[in-house]
Structure formats: structure tokens, C-alpha cells
Amino acid sequence: MPDPIRSVLFVCLGNICRSPLAEGVMEHLAEDLELVVDSAGTGGWHVGEPADPRSIEVAERHGITLGSRARKVREDDFDEFDLIIAMDRSNLEDLEALRDGGSAELRLFREFDPEAGGEMDVPDPYYGGPDGFDDVYEMVLRGCRKLLEEIERR
């Protein structure tokens, strides 16, 4: 049986759209569990900034507060987290290149989305309109629910 998951890090590019939304949704769904949840970006452009206002807005419509500030992935994340989840294949490749040890399991987020089909990337809604943020929220909600099932099984 795989090791238990006690901590999860969601990773996207800038840590202001997809990964903070996944962090907030997972915290909301897993509030009764002792699960450490965080998010980070592979790029450092937005370090210290709050989530994109469009991510905050879609989360608030669903009763979820996004309070984290953007940060960049650190080497020690690979030791501190049991599971690091990339929001797309490009982020996964960046994480694999950054990794220099550590025991964290690396996975793609849409592995947990029952409606993913063959599309394994959560699209970055940054340059699109508000509908993209709604679509990403729905993907994140489905994926976090399935991820939570796996966490509880382990």
C-alpha cells in the first residue's frame, strides 16, 4: 500500500490562479482532516502577491476564501510535502528539473479529474475571461474530491 499523504503542495506557473484555487478548495473540503495544504509557482514573478482577483471571486462565490500569498517552489518542498501536484505537464517538467532529492511523490492534477479524458493539463485562465476561471474551478473541485478520496484510502 502507498505511503499515507499528510501534506500536499499544488504547483502552477505564477501561483496566483490555478494552484491557490486548488489550495483553497482542498483546505475547504479537507477541513476536518489534519492535512497540510499549500501552493507555489515554478516562476517568481508574483512572489508575495495575493491570488488573482478572478480566482478570489470564483472561490468566494463557492464559500471559499483564498488567503495565501504567491511563493516560488523551494528545494525543501520536496522533503516537506508527501505529494506535490503540478497543474500541467510543463509545471511537472519544471518540478522534475528542480528536484534534487526529497521523497515527495510528483503527480499531475488532472490524474484525479474523472472528466479529464486524455487532456492532462489544467488550462491557465490568466489571459482569458472569467469563464476560464469558472471552468478551472470545476476541474479543481472534481480533482480535489477524488484526491481527497485517495488521501482517505491511504
25 in any annotated domain: yes
What's at 151, amino acid-wise? I
The mean per-residue pLDDT over the stretch 36-59 comes to 97
For residue 122, the enclosing domain spans 7-153
DSSP 7-63: EEEEEESSSSSHHHHHHHHHHHHTTTS--EEEEEESS-TTTTPBPPHHHHHHHHHTT
- Tell me the per-residue pLDDT of 88-137, one tens digit each, with 9 for 90 and over: 999 999 999 999 999 999 999 999 999 999 999 999 999 988 899 999 99
- As a whole number, the mean pLDDT across the chain is 96
1 in any annotated domain: no
Catalytic residue list: 12, 18, 124
70 in any annotated domain: yes
* CATH classification at residue 97: 3.40.50.2300
Q: CA 27 to CA 50: how far, in whole Å?
A: 17
Count structural domains, the chain: 1
Q: Which residue has the cell 469563464?
A: 131
2 in any annotated domain: no
- Tell me the per-residue pLDDT of 50-79, one tens digit each, with 9 for 90 and over: 999 999 999 999 999 999 999 999 999 999
